[in-house]
Amino acid sequence: MKEIVAIIRPNKLDEVKDSLEELGCHGMTVTEVKGRGRQLGITESYRGSDYRIDMLPKTRLEIVVADEQVDNVIDKIVKTAQTGDIGDGKIFISPVEEVVRIRTGERGNEAV
């Protein structure tokens, strides 16, 4: 099992969610977060003065899937969240040792 953490544009959430549903991947945890990448944010101008806004609003998705599904999920996220402009986000993948469904006590792939 793997945990996929995807940082995406907030306005791409619905598209990503729908495309993952097509794969049968329903479970996810979504958080509104702030952050920045290599470009160090954007510039805003108020009454003629420029300010660098270096923490931008992003959406963080946490998804745990079985090993064989990982590539499909990543492909879907990349395809739907991509605009080609700076700020599209990143995906991080890490191994998951165990998953437990609290309602039933099931473990492993059954619980994902």
Partner 1 sequence: MDPVLNSGDTAWMLISTALVMIMTVPGVALFYGGLTKKANVLNTMFMSLIAFSIASIIWVLYGYQFAFGEDMLMGIIGNPANLLFSGIGVDQLSTLATTIPETVFIAFQMTFAAITVALISGAVVERMKVSSWMVFIAAWVSLVYVPIAHWVWGGGFLAQLGALDFAGGTVVHINSGVAALALILLLGKRKDTKLLPHQLGYSVLGAALLWFGWFGFNAGSALTAGGLAGSAFIATNTAAAAAMISWVIIDYLKTGKPTVLGAISGAIAGLVAITPAAGFVTVQAAVIIGLVTSVVSYLSISYLKPKLGYDDALDVFGIHGMSGLWGALATGLFAAPFINELGTGLFYGNPGQLLTQVIAVVVVAGYSFVATLIIGKVIDMVMGLRVEDKEEIEGLDINLHEETGYRI
Q: Which residues bind partner 1 (CB under 8 A)?
A: 44-49, 51, 53
E strand spans, the chain: 2-8, 29-35, 42-46, 49-53, 56-65, 90-95
**52 vs 107 by CB, closer to partner 1:** 52
Distance CA 33, CA 56 (A): 8
Minimum CB distance to partner 1, residue 49 (Å): 7
Cβ pair 70, 6 in contact under 8 A? no
What is the rounded CA–CA span in Å between residue 81 and residue 88?
Answer: 7
User: Which of 45, 104 has the CB closer to partner 1?
Assistant: 45
Query: Smaller CB distance to partner 1: residue 42 or 100?
Result: 42
Shortest Å, Cβ 34 to partner 1: 13
Least separation in angstroms between residue 110's CB and partner 1 is: 37
